[in-house]
């Protein structure tokens, strides 16, 4: 029975980490938090013999950083091209609202929110489009940063486990 529970536990670890990496690229799942919980489960299954509190705290800080990146990256992209406060607010609202409309909403939400906000502030279509594309580019950079941090979390865990 103990072997079956271990097998189920390690299967859960693999599923959480794999699902987390997929969720980092396709914003349908909370990717980095799933990676974190998979790594935490791995430490638990090992009775914290190889990976202890300091490593788990570091991983927790990294996952909090990825959550912040998720919400801020689009707005920072918009800010780089001189977006108005309304466009920045629109990008954040669009990012949040997009979560309720699946992958298309997550891809279009920040762009649409920034464009609408910029149009409300200045009603200049060219600038609004620039802001929208900069927002989308910021989201892309944010996704790459989240992927890098998720892979770093796995690397830190493995180093801690084997050292």
Task: Name every residue whose Cβ is closer than 8 Å to that of residue 69 and which is 6 or more positions away in sequence.
Answer: 142, 145, 146, 149
pLDDT at 83: 85
Report the percent of the chain where pLDDT is more than 90.
Answer: 48
Residue corresponding to tokens 């489009």: 129
Q: Is the pLDDT of residue 78 over 80?
A: no
Q: What is the pTM of this model?
A: 0.81
21-56 pLDDT, tens digit each: 999 987 778 899 999 999 999 999 999 999 999 999
Instruction: Report the share of the chain in percent with pLDDT over 70.
Output: 98
Predicted pLDDT of residue 1 = 58
């Amino acid at each position: 029975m103990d072997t079956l529970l271990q097998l189920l536990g390690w299967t859960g670890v693999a599923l959480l980490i794999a699902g987390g990496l997929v969720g980092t690229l396709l914003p349908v799942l909370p990717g980095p938090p799933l990676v974190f919980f998979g790594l935490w489960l791995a430490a638990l299954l090992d009775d914290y013999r190889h990976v202890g509190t300091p490593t788990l705290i570091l991983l927790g800080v990294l996952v909090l950083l990825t959550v912040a990146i998720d919400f801020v990256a689009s707005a920072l992209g918009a800010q780089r091209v001189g977006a108005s406060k309304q466009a920045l607010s629109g990008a954040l609202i669009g990012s949040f609202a997009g979560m309720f409309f699946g992958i298309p909403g997550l891809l279009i939400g920040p762009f649409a929110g920034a464009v609408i906000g910029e149009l409300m502030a200045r009603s200049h279509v060219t600038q609004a489009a620039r802001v929208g594309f900069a927002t989308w580019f910021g989201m892309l950079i944010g996704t790459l940063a989240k992927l890098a941090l998720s892979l770093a979390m796995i690397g830190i865990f493995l180093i801690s486990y084997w050292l």
